[in-house]
Amino acid sequence: MATVDAHPGPFTFDPATTALIVIDMQRDFMEPGGFGETLGNDVSQLRRVIAPTEALLRACRAASLTIIHTREGHLPDLSDCPPAKLNRGEPSQRIGAPGPMGRILIRGEHGHDIIDELAPAPGELVIDKPGKGAFYNTTLGEVLAGQGIRSLVVTGVTTEVCVHTTVREANDRGYECLVLSDCVGSYFPEFQEAGLKMIAAQGGIFGWVAPSTAFIAALQPSLQRT
């Protein structure tokens, strides 16, 4: 077992039954011209997540941790996109409309894929999800159960939307979740701060929070064994 110095207290995990989940580090959220920007967001707010996540991926790969990436997006015919999501708000371009990186938030388009810096390595699972949570309408639950995973280390964007939805449901499903504060990002600094506080408040109401350096330090014994 390994232990991370986390909030609200130590997070103990077995690397053999722990998975890293990297949520939606897609061009559509991270780069100009994608879904995030059509909603009026300043996508540069998310760039600070990239470098610590690169270092985290290197450490997790060296420790042979299970690594799973997710991508939010829809089928080209939009049959998996509920009208409530499609028609909401006043975006500059709706989901499915043509953008500079291809159709907005559509599977198979350039904008839908993960940014080059964090591209999945061969053998790492990529889960496509139509919703905000990584469990809804995906095989994630079966994959984790099949691999005997009990703890999740969660990173990605955005903190208060897809990261929160995924962690809340993972907690309900019985997983112990550690969210890495510098490897999750929001377009809104105030939501980033509040989103992290919500996870660890009340004795860790649905998880733990720690910086990635603390998690990487806890992985060191596993690195020395490999």
Q: Which residue has the tokens 């449901």?
A: 169
Catalytic residue from among 60, 162, 177, 183? 162
Among 13, 24, 114, 175, binds ligand C5J (CB under 6 A): 24
25 binds ligand C5J (CB under 6 A): no
Question: Is 24 one of the catalytic residues?
Answer: yes
Binding mask 28-47 for ligand C5J (x = CB under 6 A): -x------------------
196 binds ligand C5J (CB under 6 A): no
Task: Considering the complex, state which of residue 29 and residue 175 has its C-beta at the smaller distance from ligand C5J.
Answer: 29
Catalytic residue from among 24, 28, 113, 128? 24
Burial of 170 (0-12, 13-18, 19+ CB in 10 A): buried
- Segment contacting ligand C5J by CB under 6 A, of 95-103, 153-161, 170-178, 215-223: 153-161
158 binds ligand C5J (CB under 6 A): yes
Among 81, 101, 153, 161, binds ligand C5J (CB under 6 A): 161
Residues 126-145 that bind ligand C5J (CB under 6 A): 132
Binding mask 48-87 for ligand C5J (x = CB under 6 A): ------------------------x---------------
Task: Considering the complex, state which of residue 41 and residue 147 has its C-beta at the smaller distance from ligand C5J.
Answer: 41
For residues 64 and 55, what is the distance between their CA atoms, to the nearest angstrom?
14
Among 30, 162, 180, 216, binds ligand C5J (CB under 6 A): 162
Of residues 131, 78, 103, 136, the one with CA closest to residue 28? 103
Min dist CB 45 to ligand C5J, Å, is 12
Alpha-carbon radius of gyration of the chain: 17
Of residues 113, 21, 26, the one with CA closest to residue 68? 21
152 binds ligand C5J (CB under 6 A): no
For residue 80, how far is the Cα from the chain centroid? 21
Question: Is 129 one of the catalytic residues?
Answer: yes
Question: Is 177 one of the catalytic residues?
Answer: no
Min dist CB 119 to ligand C5J, Å, is 17
Residues in the chain: 226
Which residues of this protein are in contact with ligand C5J, per CB under 6 A?
Answer: 24, 29, 72, 132, 157-158, 161-162
